């Protein structure tokens, strides 16, 4: 086991066990609680279309029994100490995490370790949990914003794991058996894919000891491979007899850890981050075209999207899509003003300071940054790069995104508004 050569953050520490399991902590002075967990570099991207939903179903299934505890005992043991135990599955990661008071860190991490290392994986439990996830799919399908998101991902990455739905499709879910789930787990839950971590009132050495005891005997193994993303220009829409239209428009963005990541984040802030952003001011405040509009940068290991999500009435969808296109072009041509850039930097800096006071946000950041950069970023380092970003950097990144284009769109809502999505994606 070796420690990272230089301390990456005044308060953050990373230790790698001999088998590649990493331990990341970020001690927060003055706190009495912590956010801890075990994260695995495994998710929907590691599925095949006929096994779509395996990562998420596995995440659910382990809660039915692990480490000798039934589902009820797991829940009772956690709550008897007031621990909030939860989990989440995304395209590239599955996380099992706990919020707890400082004295219960070891116990909470023990529960997370049981879920990751010692799940019972019982066939009867699988049937019951399959039913629960089927209902979760139903709820997500009923929610028009969720549904637009699923369609958008499929439009960007058709016939690829990255285009699958995280929850799976009713058909693929119905076809998953216990062997599929076990095979998925064995393929993806590898030592070098795992991070044990936490932020708040955590003791790094104690977490390293814990990880050594529970994870130290795992064989050294690399994370599972995922096929490279092949984004395309496309649109997918779904007619629905709803009041509002949910519209998502995107163009090429950047992969996680790209050197221009910060410039892209500043650009999304200026374009559609807050109430002072161009899209909010123009589409909502001046013209009342949308109820909600937001720009975002979504980043995966090898690709990314610069997206705009809007809620509007069907009759105005065409105007919304045209305006979004114009705002993207303007950003690539003339870039932001100095005042806009300064504002975006202040928003980014203040958000970072606020997040730094939340154990949950800080644990997630430490783990994400360790997966992408090998260690948590220092706040001072981010501040320096933030100070150095220029109007030209932001304009350049907008220009690059628009040169790559690959526009994609999705829409869920009244028929009259669906055309706007197709028009955006075929520019």
Active site residues: 59
Stretch that binds a copy of itself, among 41-49, 132-140, 225-233, 321-329 (CB under 8 A): 132-140
Q: Contact letters (x/-) for a copy of itself, 71-110, by CB under 8 A?
A: xx-xxx-xxxxxxxx-------------xxx---------
Q: Please report how close the Cβ of residue 84 comes to a copy of itself at its closest, in angstroms.
A: 8
Stretch of 15-23, 128-136, 176-184, 226-234 lying at the interface with a copy of itself (CB under 8 A): 128-136
The correct pick among 7, 90, 260, 281 for binding a copy of itself (CB under 8 A) is 281
Within a 13 Å sphere around the CA of 38, how many CA atoms are in the beta-carbon half?
27
Q: Could you write out the DSSP letters of every residue in 347-398?
A: HHHHHHHHHTT-HHHHHHHHHHHHHHHSSPPPHHHHHHHHHH--HHHHHHHH
Rounded distance between C-alpha atoms, residue 150 and residue 128, angstroms: 24
How far, in whole angstroms, is CA 325 from its chain's centroid? Answer: 26
Answer for the pair 161, 44: CB distance below 8 angstroms, yes or no: yes
Binding positions for a copy of itself, 312-331, rule CB under 8 A: 312-313
CB neighbours of 162 closer than 8 A, spacing ≥ 6? 44, 45, 91, 153, 156, 226, 229, 300, 303
CB closer to a copy of itself, 46 vs 130: 130
CB 335 within 8 A of CB 398: yes
Q: Establish if 182 lies at the interface with a copy of itself (CB under 8 A).
A: no
DSSP class of 310 = E
- Contact with a copy of itself (CB under 8 A) among 10, 220, 326, 346: 346
Let me know the angle formed at the C-alpha of 201 by 198 and 203, rounded to the nearest 5 degrees: 70
Stretch that binds a copy of itself, among 43-51, 347-355, 368-376, 387-395 (CB under 8 A): 347-355
Residue 321: count other Cβ atoms within 10 Å of its Cβ.
27
Q: Which of 46, 64, 305, 327 binds a copy of itself (CB under 8 A)?
A: 64
Compute CA 177 distance to the chain's CA centroid, rounded to the nearest angstrom.
Answer: 27
Strand partners, 248: 309, 410
CA dist., res. 318 & res. 3, Å (int): 55
Q: Which residues of 206-231 are buried (b: 16+ CB within 10 A; e: fewer)?
A: ebbebbbebbbebeebebbebeebeb
Smallest gap from residue 224 Cβ to a copy of itself (A): 29
Cα distances (Å, whole numbers) of residue 168 to 36, 223, 372, 412 = 28, 22, 26, 19
Q: Which two tokens stand for residue 123?
A: 């066939």
Least separation in angstroms between residue 113's CB and a copy of itself is: 18
255 versus 349: smaller Cβ distance to a copy of itself: 349
Tell me which of 3, 50, 142, 333 binds a copy of itself, using CB under 8 A. Answer: 142
Among residues 39, 210, 280, 300, the one that binds a copy of itself under rule CB under 8 A? 280
* 136 binds a copy of itself per the rule CB under 8 A: yes
User: Out of 359, 376, 407, 417, which residue is the one contacting a copy of itself (CB under 8 A)?
Assistant: 359
Q: Judged by CB under 8 A, does residue 131 bind a copy of itself?
A: yes
| Residues touching a copy of itself, count (CB under 8 A) | 69
Return the number of the residue (156 or 297) whose C-beta is nearest a copy of itself: 297
Residues that bind a copy of itself (CB under 8 A): 29-33, 63-64, 71-72, 74-76, 78-85, 99-101, 128-129, 131-132, 135-139, 141-144, 241-244, 274-276, 280-281, 284-285, 288, 290-292, 311-313, 339, 342-344, 346-351, 353-354, 357-359
């Amino acid at each position: 086991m070796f420690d990272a050569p230089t301390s990456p953050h005044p308060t953050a520490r990373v230790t790698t066990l001999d088998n590649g399991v990493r331990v990341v902590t970020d001690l927060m002075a003055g706190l009495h609680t912590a956010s801890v967990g075990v994260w695995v570099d495994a998710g929907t991207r590691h599925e095949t279309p006929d096994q779509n939903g395996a990562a998420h179903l596995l995440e659910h299934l382990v809660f039915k029994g692990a480490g000798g505890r039934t589902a009820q005992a797991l829940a009772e043991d956690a709550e008897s100490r007031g621990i909030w135990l939860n989990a989440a599955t995304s395209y590239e990661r599955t996380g099992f995490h706990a919020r707890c008071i400082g004295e219960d860190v070891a116990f909470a991490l023990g529960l997370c370790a049981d879920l990751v290392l010692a799940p019972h994986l019982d066939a009867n439990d699988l049937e019951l949990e399959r039913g629960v996830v089927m209902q979760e799919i139903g709820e997500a399908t009923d929610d028009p914003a969720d549904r637009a998101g699923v369609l958008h991902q499929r439009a960007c990455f058709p016939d690829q794991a990255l285009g699958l739905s995280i929850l799976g499709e009713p058909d693929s879910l119905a076809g998953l058996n216990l062997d599929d789930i076990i095979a998925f787990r064995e393929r993806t839950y590898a030592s070098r894919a795992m991070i044990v971590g936490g932020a708040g009132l955590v003791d790094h050495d104690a977490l390293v000891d814990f990880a050594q005891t529970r994870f130290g005997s795992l064989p050294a193994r690399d994370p599972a491979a995922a096929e490279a993303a092949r984004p395309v220009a496309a649109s997918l829409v779904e007619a629905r007899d709803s009041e509002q239209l949910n519209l998502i428009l995107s163009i090429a963005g950047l992969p996680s850890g790209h050197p221009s990541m910060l410039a892209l984040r500043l650009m999304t802030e200026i374009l559609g981050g807050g109430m002072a952003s161009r899209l909010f001011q123009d589409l909502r405040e001046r013209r009342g075209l949308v109820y909600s509009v937001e720009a975002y940068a979504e980043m995966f290991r090898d690709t990314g999207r610069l997206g705009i999500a809007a809620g509007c009435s069907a009759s105005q969808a065409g105007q919304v899509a045209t305006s979004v296109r114009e705002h993207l072009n303007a950003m690539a041509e003339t870039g932001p003003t100095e005042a806009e850039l300064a504002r975006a930097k202040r928003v980014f800096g203040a958000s970072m300071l606020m997040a730094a006071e939340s154990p949950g946000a800080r644990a997630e950041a430490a783990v994400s940054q360790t997966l992408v950069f090998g260690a948590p970023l220092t706040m001072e380092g981010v501040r320096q790069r933030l100070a150095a970003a220029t109007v030209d950097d932001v304009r350049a990144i907008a220009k690059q995104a628009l040169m790559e284009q690959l526009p994609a769109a999705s829409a869920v809502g009244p028929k009259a508004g669906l055309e706007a999505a197709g028009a955006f994606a075929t520019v």
